[in-house]
Structure 1
């Protein structure tokens, strides 16, 4: 196995990151497209049906022209799995950022990353301790890109609930979407994180957006159905389909707390993975 400082390995990491980011920006995952097609076929509102047609045409044109699905190309949140025996290093993280900088120039991506106070733009979508790279151990060395735009991120929420409010979790999720309205470009996918600590719940909610949306548990389906009863509809213009899917991830929490986070994702639920061959 190559060493973690091997230039050849670092270049592979950079290239894999570039490919993951590029593909995530251009190609919507098949399971998300299937959900949109199903929504189009079952939608009863003519306006909503036309909006879903427009979204599907947008997807087709992005693939045909090799162009980003959305003008807000987001900040690419990166998830890495590394096989046992390989340690993640600062050089590896820099290789990931090099891949993001290359994608920003070549795809191209809109430079979105700014200093939170001065609002000065880095111009590269990297720097200022961003974008985040989440590393876990896995069987293969993979890099997954999850571009996250501001429209959906800005209306996401977290609440430190009392344990006695367990039965109010579904209401909190539905209320979050009600407050969001059409701003996150519905139909949306909702990632829900329950448990852990304040920061863990938020991480779980975002990680839930990596899960396939081809199926839901009964709990997830119940939340999805209740959100769709809001009638917000595609792009906020009314209709049957406000939410394509709900995905929930949980973790143990302190006996005295119940953190709940909702990370909203727009219809352009972008994600793509690349394997690093070592």
Structure 2
């Protein structure tokens, strides 16, 4: 049986927090460069150039890409044949976030109660989702989720009769309403099916899929391409100042659902769609 010590998890998660907030992933950089080269609006092109310059400065100086260093969301794929020693995996993941935000001098943005709102001072707790799988691997996907974009996300319990047309309408309306405040160009994660909370979870995890990849099902892949074109046709553009690059990508994930329902969730990320993965 494979064994991983909690200290390894703590150190790995700390490194992931710092990396995610300092270096934009290659898929996102490529998407931003493509947007800059294709943008037809003078304002939009200048904004995209400034964003790309910001990425370079952050990487060279080792400082955060954005002042909102997010609420950490972690997806854990835990092999059933894996043994954790030295403590609990939950405690190790939370300690890794605290260590990363302290050592990386990252802004601490989490309050301990949604109403009293006293800062926890270490950016914990993170929101952690677990999946137990076969094997002995530990896979960690980490997203520091900024709230300018998180606040523009939405969930709707559609009727089955609304079908794909109703789903398309809801997604485009959500993007039209939210993208200027979400620091466009944005990445759109869409979850369809399951229950209310499952659809939201699918939408969140969809943001971790590399930009430029598509769902394996043909009809969902066609849906992703349609939504990308329809959202960019809105003309909202970078930072809401006009242009053809409102959305960099639309990732749709689906799950079986009840005969009486069609849950749809839209989770939006700004152009700083931070996501890092590790396998231990």
The two structures have a TM-score, normalised by structure 2, of 0.92
Question: Which residue in 1 is equivalent to 2:235?
Answer: 231
Structure (1/2) with the larger strand percentage: 2
Q: Which runs of 5+ in 2 are unaligned?
A: 215-220
Other-structure match for 1:149: 146
Q: 1:174 to 1:88 in 2, by over 3 A?
A: farther
Deviation at 1:194, TM superposition (A): 0.2
Q: Any residues of structure 2 matched to 1:13-52 within 5 Å, and which?
A: 13-52=9-48
Q: Distance in 1 between matches of 2:134 and 2:143?
A: 18
Give the structure 2 partner of residue 180 of structure 1: 178
1:109-148, aligned counterparts within 5 Å? Answer: 109-114=106-111, 115-127=113-125, 130-137=126-133, 140-148=137-145
Q: Which residue of 2 aligns with 1:171?
A: 169
Q: Distance in 2 between matches of 1:88 and 1:77?
A: 21
Q: Residue 2 of structure 1: CA displacement? A: 5.2
Structure 2 match to 1:86:
82
- CA distance in structure 1 between the partners assigned to 2:223 and 2:72 by the alignment: 29
Unaligned segments of structure 1, at least 5 residues? none
For 1:67-86, list aligned pairs within 5 A.
67-86=63-82
CA RMSD of aligned residues (A): 1.7
Which aligned segments of 4 or more residues in structure 1 are displaced greater than 4 angstroms? 87-90
Q: Distance in 2 between matches of 1:135 and 1:65?
A: 36
Q: Distance in 2 between matches of 1:76 and 1:215?
A: 24
CA contact (8 A) 2:17 2:101 kept: no
- Match runs of 1:191-230 below 5 Å: 191-216=189-214, 217-230=221-234
Match of 2:7 among 5, 11, 14: 11
Counterpart-to-counterpart distance in 1, 2:143 and 2:186: 15
What is the rounded CA distance, in whole Å, between the counterparts of 2:132 and 2:50 in structure 1?
A: 38
C-alpha separation between the residues in 1 aligned to 2:177 and 2:168?
A: 14
Secondary structure of the corresponding residue to residue 132 of structure 1: strand
Q: CA deviation at 1:137?
A: 2.3
Aligned residues between the structures? 270
Match for residue 264 of structure 1? 268
Residues in 1 aligned to 2:188 and 2:240: alpha-carbon distance in whole angstroms: 16
Other-structure match for 1:249: 253
Partner-residue secondary structure (3-state), 1:35? helix
